Structure 1
Amino acid sequence: MDGTTEEARKKQSEIIFSKTPEERFLMGIEMINYMRMVVENSIRAEQPDISPLELKIAVFKRYYAHEFSKEELERIEESMRVYHLQTHNTLN
């Protein structure tokens, strides 16, 4: 359901397209960052003691669970864990 009037939609477009491409790009980045923060906070609300790695995995699953099969998700999760161990190994 969309409650935005045609007049409001036109005004919104005018405002957005009056900005430079760089400003529009930065607006997009800000929106992406804001939505990631919303997703992370939602996960933290459900799992207050979640580790940084588990949070990354949970965010990935929240975004992409519908894009991959269960088996693919398991392989990706395992790859994320291996990568994390390799890049955070203090013995190197």
Structure 2
Amino acid sequence: MNDTPPEVEERYRAMLLQRTGEERLIMGCTMRDTARAMVEASLREQDPNATVKTIRKGVFLRFYGHEFDGETRAKILAAIESAAHRS
């Protein structure tokens, strides 16, 4: 769905392109950090006693889980589980 008028989209794009590459990178990193914080908060709301391992697995599944087949997803989750035991 796109309900933004084309002239507004063009103006927004022009404003973004006026920023330096560094500023755009910082914006992107900030947006990613905000998205991760929102996902973590959602996971903690669902399970207030969630462990770091549970949060890491949940973040992976929300952001990337759909990009892998079941077998690969299971291997990645097992690696997250294993890494949690080592730290």
Shared fold per TM-score greater than 0.5: yes
C-alpha distance in 2 between matches for 1:77 and 1:41 = 20
Q: Which amino acid aligns with 2:65?
A: A
**Structure possessing the higher radius of gyration over alpha carbons:** 1
Aligned equivalent of 1:65 = 65
Cα distance in 2 between the residues matched to 1:69 and 1:82: 20
How many residue pairs get aligned? The number is 87
Higher helix share: 2
For residues 34-90 of structure 1, the C-alpha deviation after alignment (integer angstroms, 9 at most, x for no partner) is: 11111111222211211111100111011122111222222211111112212x2xx
Answering whether residue 80 of structure 2 is matched by residue 80 of structure 1, we say yes
**C-alpha distance in 1, partners of 2:52/2:71?**
23
For residue 43 of structure 1, what is the aligned residue in structure 2? 43
Which structure's relative contact order is higher, taking Cα pairs within 8 Å and 6+ residues apart? 2
The 5-angstrom pairing of residues 24-43 of structure 1 reads: 24-43=24-43
Q: 3-state DSSP class of the match of 1:80?
A: helix
Amino acid at match of 2:66: H
- Segments of structure 1 that go 5 or more residues without pairing to the other structure are none
TM-score by length of 1: 0.85
Identity across matched positions, percent: 29
Q: Which runs of 5+ in 2 are unaligned?
A: none
Q: Quote the offset at 1:31 in angstroms.
A: 0.9
Matches of 2:64 and 2:28, distance apart in 1: 20
Partner of 1:10 in structure 2?
10
Q: Which amino acid aligns with 1:82?
A: S
